[in-house]
């Protein structure tokens, strides 16, 4: 089959998607509202699916199409939908409190991106020339998601951060190495889903015990006050 786009434009699209991924990570870091956080997560999932599809076109691997479809349905649609429903059922409203202000978190995020690229540079030598920047971006997105988990107080935003980390790992695996075995992918997807379910159960328990989803109540659980 002759590709309907030439290689150069395909790679450009992939790079554009990577940049978009990083931008979404920053947006997640900055966003205060829970509902918007979930939307951003959904966008990230869709981006991920698109980039997987691009890789599928690029390499001609049929299984990657399955993977892209799976990503789209699970990460782009199902999990955001579930989170959305959870938000409604738990009736969480308002903003997410952050332990640092947005500006400093963003600055910290930039430092992390530079760090991630510095880390990825020596590794990139072993990768296909076309995907040099991808590993850095994936690592940066991962660290940014981690930073987001650290700076948030509400339980739901922790889950969003966790899923964003998962997305970043996934992105790194598919884009930087141009595809990964379907079985690994299925495993990761299942893990994410299970983690989501467990955390969902925990939310209800946390709220039952403390009548709030604010995590600082958990500090009462430590020993030796």
Partner 1 sequence: MNALLPLQMALGAVALGPLASLGSLLPRLHPSWLRYTSLMTSTLMSLLWLLSGALGLILVAAPAPNLAVGGIPLWQFRLDPLSAFFLVVLGVVGTASSLHAVGYFRQLGRTGLRRVLIPLPLFLSAMALLLLADNAYTFLVAWEGMALSSSYLILAQTQTIQARHAAYLYLLVAHLGALCLLAAFALLCHGNPLAGNDFSALTHEVLAPGLAQAVLLLTLLGFGAKLGMAPLHVWLPEAHPAAPSPVSALMSAAMLPMALYGLLRIDWQILPPEGVSWGLVWLALGLLTAGFGVLFSTLQRDLKRLLAYSSMENMGLILVALGLARLFVAEGSPTLAALALSAGLFQTLNHALFKGLLFLGSGSVFHSTGTVDMGRLGALIRSMPQTTLLMLIGCLAIAGLPPLNGFASEWMLLQAFLLAPQMASGTLQAILPLTAAGVVLVLALASFAIIKAFGLSFLGQPRSIYTAHEAGLWERFAMAFLALGCIFLGLFPGLAIHAISAVNVLLLPGNSLGIQQPWRLTPISPERASYVPGWFLIGIAVAILLTFLLVWWRFGRPLRRVPVWSCGFRGARTARMQDSPAGFSQSLLRIFQPIHHGRIQPDTASKELRVELADPFWVGLYEPLQRLALALSRQALRLQHGKISSYLLYAFLTLVVLLVLVR
Q: Which of 82, 90, 108, 215 binds partner 1 (CB under 8 A)?
A: 215
At 178, list the tokens.
Answer: 């141009």
Is 122 one of the binding residues for partner 1 (CB under 8 A)? Answer: yes
Q: How many residues bind partner 1 (CB under 8 A)?
A: 23
Q: Which of 115, 127, 188, 193 binds partner 1 (CB under 8 A)?
A: 115
Is 220 one of the binding residues for partner 1 (CB under 8 A)? Answer: yes
Is 123 one of the binding residues for partner 1 (CB under 8 A)? Answer: yes
In order, the DSSP letters of 73-141 are IIIIIIHHHHHHHHHHHHT--SBPPBSS-HHHHHHHHHHHHHHHHHHHHHHHTTS-GGGHHHHHHHHHH
Is 222 one of the binding residues for partner 1 (CB under 8 A)? Answer: yes
Q: Which of 86, 152, 170, 173 binds partner 1 (CB under 8 A)?
A: 152
Distance (Å) of CA 194 to CA 121, 189, 200, 225? 34, 9, 10, 33
What is the residue whose two structure tokens read 């892209």? 68
At 123, list the tokens.
Answer: 């590794």
Comparison of 63 and 149: residue with beta carbon closer to partner 1: 149
At 127, list the tokens.
Answer: 């990768």
**Rounded Cα distance, 225 and 27, in Å:** 38
Is 77 one of the binding residues for partner 1 (CB under 8 A)? Answer: no
Is 223 one of the binding residues for partner 1 (CB under 8 A)? Answer: yes
> Please, which residues bridge with residue 154 across strands?
214
Is 158 one of the binding residues for partner 1 (CB under 8 A)? Answer: yes
Contact 146, 108 (CB under 8 A): no
Q: Per-residue x/- marks for partner 1, 132-151, CB under 8 A?
A: -----------x--xx-xxx
Q: Which of 93, 94, 211, 219 binds partner 1 (CB under 8 A)?
A: 219
Residue 34's SS3 state is helix
Is 185 one of the binding residues for partner 1 (CB under 8 A)? Answer: no
What is the contact surface with partner 1 in residues (CB under 8 A)?
99, 115, 119, 122-123, 143, 146-147, 149-153, 158, 215-216, 218-224
């Amino acid at each position: 089959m002759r590709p309907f786009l030439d290689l150069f434009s395909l790679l450009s699209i992939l790079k554009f998607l990577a940049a978009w991924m990083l931008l979404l990570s920053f947006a997640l870091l900055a966003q205060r509202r829970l509902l918007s956080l979930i939307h951003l997560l959904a966008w990230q999932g869709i981006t991920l699916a698109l980039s997987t599809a691009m890789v599928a076109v690029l390499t001609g691997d049929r299984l990657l199409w399955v993977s892209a479809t799976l990503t789209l349905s699970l990460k782009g649609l199902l999990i955001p939908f579930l989170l959305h429903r959870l938000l409604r059922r738990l009736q969480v409203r308002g903003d997410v409190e952050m332990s640092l202000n947005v500006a400093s978190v963003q600055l910290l995020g930039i430092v992390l991106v530079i760090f991630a690229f510095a880390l990825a540079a020596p590794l990139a030598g072993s990768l296909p020339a076309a995907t040099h920047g991808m590993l850095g971006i994936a690592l940066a997105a991962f660290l940014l998601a981690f930073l987001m988990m650290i700076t948030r107080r509400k339980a739901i935003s922790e889950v969003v951060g966790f899923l964003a980390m998962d997305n970043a790992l996934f992105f790194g695996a598919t884009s930087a190495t141009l595809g990964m075995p379907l079985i690994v992918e299925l495993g990761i997807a299942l893990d994410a889903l299970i983690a989501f379910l467990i955390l969902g159960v925990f939310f209800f328990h946390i709220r039952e015990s403390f009548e709030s989803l604010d995590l600082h109540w958990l500090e009462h659980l430590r020993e030796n006050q």
